[in-house]
Amino acid sequence: MPAGDSATVTLTLDEVRDLSIRCFLANGCDTANAEAVADVIHNAERDGAKSHGLFRVPGYIKSLKSGKANGHAVPVLEDLAPAVLRVKGDGGFAPLAQQLGREPLIERARSQGVAAMAITDIHHFQALWYEVEPLAEAGLCAFAFTAAFPYVVHPGGRTPIYGTNPMSFGWPRPGKPPMVFDQASSALARGEIMIAARDGHDVPPGTGIDRDGHETTDPNAILDGGAQLPFGGYKGASIAMMVELLAGALIGDKFSFEAWESDAKDGGPPNGGEFMLAIDPGRLGDANGWAAHAELLFERILAEEGTRLPAGRRHLNRAKTATEGAAIPAALHAEIVALCG
């Protein structure tokens, strides 16, 4: 295993996955669950999405050790309607439940034109692009929404009520990587604030408030009794509210504040749900022209110097880490190795 400087360790992507699997198996996961989560971590490190890669492993392990998350979960797929599926997650981590539902959702979208899937009773701790990208690669427009813990205040308030509530959208591009965006409805993702606190640097203005309700760029003040702010004030808060309703009330799972009230407070991911929607663009009126038409928009965006499409940076990182590996803090590497027992 090659090493970087004294503060970092560089792992090949195979080593990232193998270390993750070893750690999960040593802490109460069976092989199916361990490999499913390790795939998420591998892909996050591959794409440079550090806040959802190995950085998350200690949190996953905390929820296994507390007994909150079921490391031997056996998700169950249910057929609710011709275009509606549900996967009951059995209290496990999200990836295995998503794997179970992915191909059925793709098949239903192709046969019905539009299909929805509810994933319930899961612990979601990952980036949403991981769920959406395979659907877009299969030729579908795709959406995913999930809530979290109550980290974000409604404008004018000081009590966190919404999760960071990410949403992801994927658009297929035949012959090219899909256009996929994944963004929180908070001004900054929670993991980015945690990494800023770990690494000792400020966060951008507008990220959050301290325990007294004053805006701050100190990540520790936000994490220690403070709260996060939605992006764009009321606009971001409205989207956060929408995500709460889609991933909570609509599918019969928890709001962010309900997840917190029932949580073991172990530092691991919340228990809740996810809502996904898949659309076959060839079934909505322009079966032969939708892809070329979309490329006109993308070409117009990219014609201006300095612009890029969402996911462009991840694809550049993907090519880089395939040969250079993924560098992580040496302290994090040591922590994960120690968790392997």
pLDDT tens for 37-88 read 999 999 999 999 999 999 999 999 999 999 999 999 999 999 999 999 999 9
Phi, psi of 245, deg, nearest 5: -70, -40
Average pLDDT of the chain is 96
Structure tokens at 89: 């997650």
- Residue among 99, 152, 138 at smallest CA distance from 122: 99
- Of the listed 20, 35, 45, 52, which one is catalytic? 52
Q: Which amino acid is at 336?
A: I
Q: How many CB atoms lie within 10 A of CB 60?
A: 28
Tokens standing for residue 169: 């959208």
Q: What is the predicted pLDDT for the residue at 4?
A: 42
Q: What is the pLDDT of residue 1?
A: 41
Active site residue 51: yes
Quote the tokens at residue 9.
Answer: 């360790």
Q: What percent of the chain has pLDDT over 90?
A: 96
Spot the catalytic one: 15, 51, 66, 258.
51
299 among known catalytic residues = no
Task: Tell me if residue 6 falls in helix, strand or coil.
Answer: coil
Please tell me the predicted confidence (pLDDT) of residue 3. Answer: 42
Say if strands 8-11 and 326-329 run parallel, antiparallel, or are unpaired: antiparallel
Q: Is 123 a catalytic residue?
A: no
Q: 197's torsion region: left (phi>0), alpha (psi -120 to 50) or beta?
A: alpha
CB 209 within 8 A of CB 188: no
Q: Residue 59 and residue 198: Cα distance in Å, rounded?
A: 15
Residue 2 has pLDDT above 70, yes or no: no
* φ, ψ dihedrals at 129, nearest 5°: -60, -25
Q: Work out the pLDDT band at 6, boundaries 50, 70, 90.
A: low
Contact between 87 and 252 under an 8 Å Cβ cutoff? The reply is: no
pLDDT at 294: 97
Q: What is the pTM of this model?
A: 0.94
Q: How far apart are CA 56 and CA 91, in angstroms?
A: 18
pLDDT in tens, 94-132: 999 999 999 999 999 999 999 999 999 999 999 999 999
From 35, 45, 131, 192, active-site residue: 192
Query: Secondary structure of the chain: what % helix, strand, coil (to 5)?
Result: 45, 20, 35
Give the end-to-end CA distance of the chain in Å, rounded to a whole number: 19
pLDDT tens digits along 142-184: 999 999 999 999 998 989 999 999 999 999 999 999 999 999 9
